[in-house]
Structure 1
Amino acid sequence: MSLVIAGERSGVGKTTVTLAMLSFLSRQKSKVQSFKIGPDYIDPMFHTSVTDRPCRNLDPILTSEAYVRSCFASHCQGMGYALVEGVMGLFDGVASSGENKGQITDFASTAHIARLLELPVVLVIDCSRLSGSVAAIVHGYRSLDPRINLAGIILNRVGSDRHLTLLKNALEPVKIPILGILHRQDEIAIPDRHLGLIPSAELNHLETLFDRLAHLAHNSFDWERLLPLLKVYSSPSPPVPQSPSPPVPPSPIKIAIARDRAFNFYYQDNLDLLEKLGAELIPWSPLEDAKPPEAACGLYFGGGFPEVFARELAENHSAREAVRQAVLSGMPTYAECGGLMYLCEKLVDFNEQTWSMVGILPANAAMGKHLTLGYRQATALDNSLLFRAKETVWGHEFHRSQLTSQPQPPLFETRGCWVNSPVFLEGWRFQQVHASYIHLHFGTQQAIAQRFLARCLAFHKENRLG
């Protein structure tokens, strides 16, 4: 079994509660596997830092319901405990068709994943502006969908003992277990900025934070009730069989992957799949290294925060020129969001300062106040590095920058997942470059990884590298 940490809405403290539980269990030397529902990158970084084990994303839009089951089952094997952090409010999802389920109005929500994996839910409630009304909230969440096993609640941001008494008295008729009580914690806070929490790699004293969270969890949660819910008692059902993979090349295909404070948005499943298919992922830093690794025959730039480190990226002239020459030489290059911004001519930051970037894409990336956010159905307009014409894939956008020039020729025609959503032309494709704001998960799209590695292998052979 495992446990889903859900919220009655966004911002109620799901991540704090999850990290507190993970910190406590990890300091007990327990083997803990964590999961995050949705397309999030930053929360999983914190999970991974706590448990020293990669957090896995559970997203049936980017993958499928079958993939979510398979991912959960395979990564729970051999674990002592497992914990799933939800997304937004418990029932916040989209209207979509599930596999063999007809229409699901809360598809990809926390509730959907809890039903799909048959897991109990603990609901986190922000009590800072509540007293008697807490009972109505709990009653509503427990009653709305009887398929949800609401195992208990955690009262967060309780102001005082008097406040707690009011909450408990109100909840008495509802008869639901209170599994945790967290008072306001001004000394425990994770700083954030324009796209959410600041990534763990940028924060000092993480271990001190996790120690405080472990102490908080020890004193605030009902572990006698929680541990049986969190414990993995037996091996889950075997994973769903995957489609056969092509033969692994005799020697690894070396891919230079940008991994530093500016570029760190990667789904662990994508990296695992590339390695399974024969890639050797060699980390390097566009912030600090003079150039990508010599033996690389492909470049992989994930998302991140190049706008925060624009000065450092611009001042590393040798790295920018080395990347530019590699791309011009025909080296296959995959760039998502922040990676796309790095390949542009200029980056204009929030202070309206302009910084030189690699200069491969004839456009500038300018930061703004408007947030572009949501799932996207992307259809390839022509053959490209990774796609065949008219192929369709689901991805996710999350950025505050906009390009000053439209891509010529564009890579995708995109639309949102809501009815009558507008159509946009998006992404750059030329030579051996795929550059797009769309974040992709390779889990049910192995052809993406296969084609990328095939192009990298061909480049390797043509240039007789290594």
Structure 2
Amino acid sequence: MEHISSLALPRFVIAGASSGSGKSTLTLALIEALHRRGYRPLPWKVGPDYIDPGHLSAAAGLACRNLDPVLMGEAGMVSSFIGHCNEACRKEPKSLAVIEGVMGLFDGRGGLSSEGSTASVAKSLSAPVIVVIDAGAAAQTAGAVALGMQQFDPDCPVAGFIANRIGSDRHFSMVRRAVEGATGLPVLGWLPKSSMPSMPERHLGLVAAWEEEGRQRLSSLLRILGDAAAEHIDLDALLAIAASASSLTPIRGESVDGIDISGSSGGKADRAVAGIGTDTPSPCIAVAMDDAFHFYYQDNLDMLESLGARIVPFSPLSASRLPDGCDGVYIGGGYPELHAERLSANRTMIESIRAASFDNMPIYAECGGLMYLCRRLFVGGKGYPMVGLFDTEIEMGNKLSALGYHKARTLRPSVIGPAGMELVGHIYRWSNMVKGPSETEWLFRLDKEGTIGFDGLSVRRSTAAYLHLHFTGVPEPARHLVAACREYRQSRSKHDEQ
């Protein structure tokens, strides 16, 4: 991705008064409808979520990227947005950015702040906001809700509304009159209450688009939503609002939770670290991608490649071993608990990963990857033997165990960096360690708004944690991981020559 100084691409944000108001449904409907009109929607998702970006990627046919100023820093977020949008625009002039918000429009970090909220992102990106109003059981009250959304933050660029769960033309007429009368802003259209299929859900959100059930439902959903948007939404008015977005320029000098990232270049990274040069062949990193593991930020994979790594996908579920010639392993989050029996039964893959770890190959895992690399995973009271790199057991619960952004400080060196490194990440888990290490053995000291905790395991050159990192904000872990993989490749090459 080239460095670009400014952005004039049409763009808009879809926001709501709360989760469940219809943001995802409306965003998918607009992506499909705009596709049919010959436009190329570029999908973006506010916040640290993994599931919605999967659906937006599938609908748009392009990788959806996250916009999270807490994880990325405002400068990193804006730079990533400008660069990728301009790159897309050079390929297709009729591109425009479609940004799905998170939670309610003004809901930010910790629930008491607008930091990281959809409103804050819209202001940072100079992107007009279209608010979806859930009017399923309202008419005149929809005007009061819309007025509050318009006036709560006068600097938030609310530009219009779309009504959701409308029962009839007459119902829409009442809602439209109430909203436009209260705000003076246009209501661009509506989506009907009836005949709207929904995506199946589970504990981390919607069923993923890459799963068979998700693919089938999404295909059907897009056809219906595209028809509804084409019939009931004024797309010309929406496009005019998108085109009204002012020019956007990068922000210089930024920090993520007090960590200086001014040299991070918003997603680019210097290749050299720890004295490891770049004159050796590109290291190959095997990335777990299947129904069990699929939670990755696209920017993270891009950064690994920008640092010189080659990404090769593999499946812990179905492959018999790690890809030949790989120099490192990256196992992201996902749903290993839904596939615990198959993962446990694939003993040749387990032995391949164990052998790689004992050979000091760099291995990095997050959340679901951590669960896979532990000794045993308990699901519904039944224990499934896993890879066993870490002498701990994980038990799936029936309720959310931890959620939110955390500052993290490394307590000892690992494959992602030295002791004393300061990071910021996000945790969202339904599982717990039945047997964890002693306090002195943890990798991270966590700080969530003054609440202290610990996370992360490391043995040899294998590292895993519940904490999800976004490399745009703090790229040091990516630099160290790629450097370690390059070093492993060098040592392997020297061994082969002997």
Alignment TM-score > 0.5, same fold = yes
Query: Does structure 1 retain, via aligned residues, the 8 Å contact 2:74–2:251?
Result: no
Query: Does structure 2 retain, via aligned residues, the 8 Å contact 1:387–1:448?
Result: yes
Query: Does structure 2 retain, via aligned residues, the 8 Å contact 1:345–1:359?
Result: yes
Between 1:285-294 and 1:31-40, the stretch displaced more is 31-40
Secondary structure of the corresponding residue to residue 15 of structure 1: helix
Q: What residue is the counterpart of 1:411 in the other structure?
A: 443
Between 1:387-396 and 1:264-273, the stretch displaced more is 387-396
Q: Indicate yes or no: 2:221 matched with 1:209.
A: yes
Distance 2:103 2:370 in 1: 28
Q: What residue is the counterpart of 1:101 in the other structure?
A: none
TM-score w.r.t. structure 1 length?
0.93
Once the two structures are superposed, what CA deviation does each residue of 1:164-205 show, in whole Å capped at 9, x if it has no partner?
A: 343234335213211121111444211110110011011242
Query: Does structure 2 retain, via aligned residues, the 8 Å contact 1:253–1:457?
Result: yes
Aligned pair in 2 of structure 1 residues 249, 62: CA closer, same or farther (>3 Å)?
farther
Matched ranges for 1:116-155 at <5 A: 116-155=124-163
> Aligned match of 1:434 in 443, 446, 463?
463
Query: Does structure 1 retain, via aligned residues, the 8 Å contact 2:46–2:100?
Result: yes
Query: Does structure 2 retain, via aligned residues, the 8 Å contact 1:74–1:236?
Result: no
User: Which amino acid is the alignment partner of residue 92 of structure 1?
Assistant: D
Q: Indicate yes or no: 2:257 matched with 1:227.
A: no
How many percent of aligned residue pairs carry the same amino acid? 38
Query: Does structure 2 retain, via aligned residues, the 8 Å contact 1:74–1:239?
Result: no
User: Which amino acid is the alignment partner of residue 76 of structure 2?
Assistant: Y
> Aligned match of 1:156 in 135, 152, 164?
164
> Aligned-pair RMSD on alpha carbons?
2.1
Q: Indicate yes or no: 2:98 matched with 1:83.
A: yes
1:244 CA drift (Å): 4.3
Secondary structure of the corresponding residue to residue 71 of structure 2: coil
User: Which amino acid is the alignment partner of residue 14 of structure 1?
Assistant: K
Query: Does structure 1 retain, via aligned residues, the 8 Å contact 2:295–2:333?
Result: yes
Q: What is the total number of aligned residue pairs between the two structures?
A: 455
Query: Does structure 2 retain, via aligned residues, the 8 Å contact 1:76–1:235?
Result: no
Between 1:7-16 and 1:311-320, the stretch displaced more is 311-320
Q: What residue is the counterpart of 1:10 in the other structure?
A: 19
Secondary structure of the corresponding residue to residue 36 of structure 1: strand
User: Which amino acid is the alignment partner of residue 284 of structure 2?
Assistant: K
> Aligned match of 1:71 in 80, 83, 86?
80
Distance 1:204 1:44 in 2: 14
Distance 1:48 1:435 in 2: 27
> Aligned match of 2:404 in 355, 369, 374?
374
Query: Does structure 2 retain, via aligned residues, the 8 Å contact 1:340–1:435?
Result: yes
> Aligned match of 1:400 in 430, 433, 436?
430
Flag the structure with higher strand content: 1
1:26 CA drift (Å): 2.3
Distance 2:25 2:249 in 1: 30
User: Which amino acid is the alignment partner of residue 386 of structure 1?
Assistant: I
Between 1:352-361 and 1:297-306, the stretch displaced more is 352-361
User: Which amino acid is the alignment partner of residue 55 of structure 1?
Assistant: C
Once the two structures are superposed, what CA deviation does each residue of 1:214-257 show, in whole Å capped at 9, x if it has no partner?
A: 21211121112001233499985468682644364442201111
Aligned pair in 2 of structure 1 residues 114, 204: CA closer, same or farther (>3 Å)?
closer
Aligned pair in 2 of structure 1 residues 330, 405: CA closer, same or farther (>3 Å)?
same
Query: Does structure 2 retain, via aligned residues, the 8 Å contact 1:284–1:293?
Result: yes
Between 1:229-238 and 1:450-459, the stretch displaced more is 229-238
Aligned pair in 2 of structure 1 residues 321, 180: CA closer, same or farther (>3 Å)?
same
1:366 CA drift (Å): 0.7
Query: Does structure 1 retain, via aligned residues, the 8 Å contact 2:128–2:245?
Result: no
> Aligned match of 2:340 in 310, 314, 320?
310
Structure 1 alignment gaps of length 5 or more? 97-103
User: Which amino acid is the alignment partner of residue 131 of structure 2?
Assistant: L
Q: Indicate yes or no: 2:288 matched with 1:258.
A: yes
1:328 CA drift (Å): 1.7
Q: What residue is the counterpart of 1:52 in the other structure?
A: 61
> Aligned match of 1:177 in 186, 206, 217?
186
Between 1:235-244 and 1:158-167, the stretch displaced more is 235-244
1:131 CA drift (Å): 2.4
User: Which amino acid is the alignment partner of residue 200 of structure 1?
Assistant: A
Q: What residue is the counterpart of 2:358 in the other structure?
A: 328
Q: What residue is the counterpart of 2:92 in the other structure?
A: none
Secondary structure of the corresponding residue to residue 251 of structure 1: coil
Secondary structure of the corresponding residue to residue 393 of structure 1: strand
Secondary structure of the corresponding residue to residue 369 of structure 1: coil
Aligned pair in 2 of structure 1 residues 232, 461: CA closer, same or farther (>3 Å)?
farther
TM-score w.r.t. structure 2 length?
0.87
> Aligned match of 1:276 in 290, 296, 306?
306
Matched ranges for 1:189-200 at <5 A: 189-200=198-209
Query: Does structure 2 retain, via aligned residues, the 8 Å contact 1:76–1:236?
Result: no
Q: What residue is the counterpart of 1:99 in the other structure?
A: none
Query: Does structure 1 retain, via aligned residues, the 8 Å contact 2:126–2:245?
Result: no
Structure 2 alignment gaps of length 5 or more? 1-9, 90-94, 253-262
Q: What residue is the counterpart of 1:344 in the other structure?
A: 374
Distance 1:433 1:461 in 2: 18
